[in-house]
Amino acid sequence: MEVFYGIVMFILGTILGSFYNVVGFRLPRGESIVNPPSHCPNCNTRLGASELIPILSFLFQKGKCKHCQTKISPFYAIFELLTGIFFTLAYLIYGLTPDLIIPLTFISMLVIIVVSDYNYMIISDSVLLTFGILLGFEILFVNGFNALLPSLVSAILAFFTMWAIKKFGDILFKKESMGGGDIKLMAIFGLVLGYPMTIFSIFLGSLIGLPISLILLKKNSEHIIPFGPFLAAGAIIIVLLQLDFETIKTFLGYN
């Protein structure tokens, strides 16, 4: 049954990943996520059912619009695939239990944020607020009130820590070092990961982002690089590896 449920989670992830693409692309442009229905951005033809199958439609159509033959960005299919993989891994790690709810919701939010931040350098307040409230209720439901209060404290601490880092970066680089969305995102990280692991996620995100940023800046010194995708990568690693502060201390030899 584990294989069956794993396949179900992968399919669910790809379907939701397709929807998260829509949300991530449309919200920053101030568009409805419902109307108009999915369509080709070049010829505006409404997509049929056969053109909306996650990943497979892209492959069967050879990466082109069925109607106008305009090339379709592989970005959509890649994020459908990644969401499916993340959902499957979360199921294999947390099992089909209430504990699975929070990781799936958190991953869903991160996928939307990466899509919007990578393409528009915008992290939507409405996405953060919606998922922040949802995750708060999920923590209350899964872990109880005694777990919610420390999570809220961690969210506040994480917010002000990131705010302080931003202010230091602004002074150091003499320009805006990161957007306000990154600071608000850290509050959600604090809520889900706790304060110590939120700080570690910043470290992981920086570790991933630094070499990539240096390569991109070497090619184009004026290139503006969003930090959100790197923060999301760090958080997903923590969630899928079930890392906690004690594990990190043990790994570093402090126990």
Digit-coded pLDDT (tens) for 182-227:
899 999 999 999 999 999 999 999 899 888 888 877 777 666 778 8
Q: Report the distance separating Cα 72 and Cα 148, nearest Å.
A: 43
Listed by start position, the domains of the chain span: 1-96, 116-255
pLDDT at residue 180, rounded to an integer? 81
Q: Report the distance separating Cα 88 and Cα 4, nearest Å.
A: 11
* Contact call for residues 166 and 183 (beta carbons, < 8 A): yes
> Which amino acid type is present at position 67?
H
Q: Report the distance separating Cα 205 and Cα 92, nearest Å.
A: 24
pLDDT at residue 251, rounded to an integer? 74
Average pLDDT over residues 21-35: 91
Digit-coded pLDDT (tens) for 81-129:
999 999 999 999 999 999 999 999 999 999 999 999 999 999 999 999 9
Average pLDDT over residues 57-67: 89
pLDDT at residue 255, rounded to an integer? 61
> Which amino acid type is present at position 16?
L
Q: Report the distance separating Cα 120 and Cα 26, nearest Å.
A: 10
Report pTM. Answer: 0.92
pLDDT band per the 50, 70, 90 thresholds, residue 156: very high
How far, in Å, are 9, 14, 15, 79, 143 from residue 84 at the CA level? Answer: 7, 5, 8, 8, 26
Q: Report the distance separating Cα 98 and Cα 138, nearest Å.
A: 9
Place of tokens 């970005």: 75
CA 63 to chain centre: 24
pLDDT surpassing 80 at residue 16: yes
* Contact call for residues 96 and 5 (beta carbons, < 8 A): yes
Could you tell me which residues are beta bridge partners of residue 64? 71
